[in-house]
Amino acid sequence: MPRGSNIARVIAFIALGAGAAVLSNLTASTQRKLAWAGSYPRALDVGAPAVEPAPTASIPAPAEPTAPPAVSAGSPPAVQVTAPPAPPAALEPDLAKSFPPHPDKSAIEVAPENVLLLHRRNALFLDARRSSVYADGHIPGARSLPVWESDIDTRVKALYEEGLDQRAPIVAYCSGGNCEDSHMLAEKLYMVGFDNVLIYKDGFPDWQKRGLPVNRGANP
């Protein structure tokens, strides 16, 4: 048997696979569909995405009891189970002062304490994880913007068209650890002019570890 036919059959297998993939993607639901051309600028970078570390110190958190550093130094963050008591109702402007926009970069990371503060002050929270994961549990009030699903650009556009203040702080999170979905989302938001996306680096697992409330289902 000539070798050419071997190669032809291998190519036939691949062509068949490609055809099946085209058909399957055509008939897939939005959550399963995938655009054929991916746009992932950092696809070849190894290591953490370039993001400024948290501007931790600048936050006026009046009522937060700060533990003495000597005690908290060795203890893991999981120890802090209860949320600090809510600060007195403060004005929006001071929130804007604590978290100024950063038009020169797409995102900066914020410390968990600041995330809690922002949540109490009703900052916009965005969940970058898959919609099925979002439905299993998410931060109350957070909206679902799953970066890996095919309708993400439509969702970002819809958010843009709501005419929100683009300089107001927005918190984006995913599943913590090496998860980069929130950074990807931040980049998409940056492209349409949102200048103040903050990354909750430890993400939803940290939120759960702190025993904070969780909403289930497809709605915020």
In the complex, the residues that contact another protein under the rule CB under 8 A are 1-3, 6, 9-10, 13-14, 16-18, 20-22, 24-25, 28, 31-47, 130, 146, 148-150, 175-179, 205
C-beta of 216: minimal distance to another protein in Å? 18
CA dist., res. 116 & res. 20, Å (int): 47
C-beta of 26: minimal distance to another protein in Å? 11
Residue 114 contacts residue 59 (beta carbons within 8 Å): yes
Cβ-based neighbours of 147, under 8 Å, separated by 6 or more: 128, 181, 184, 185, 188
Q: Residue 84 or residue 176: which is nearer to another protein going by CB?
A: 176
C-beta of 191: minimal distance to another protein in Å? 15
Q: Residue 144 or residue 196: which is nearer to another protein going by CB?
A: 144
Q: Residue 25 or residue 166: which is nearer to another protein going by CB?
A: 25
Residues 147-157 as b or e (16 or more Cβ within 10 Å = b): bebbebeebbe
Q: Residue 124 or residue 152: which is nearer to another protein going by CB?
A: 152
Going by C-alpha positions, the residue among 58, 114, 126 that lies closest to residue 83 is: 114
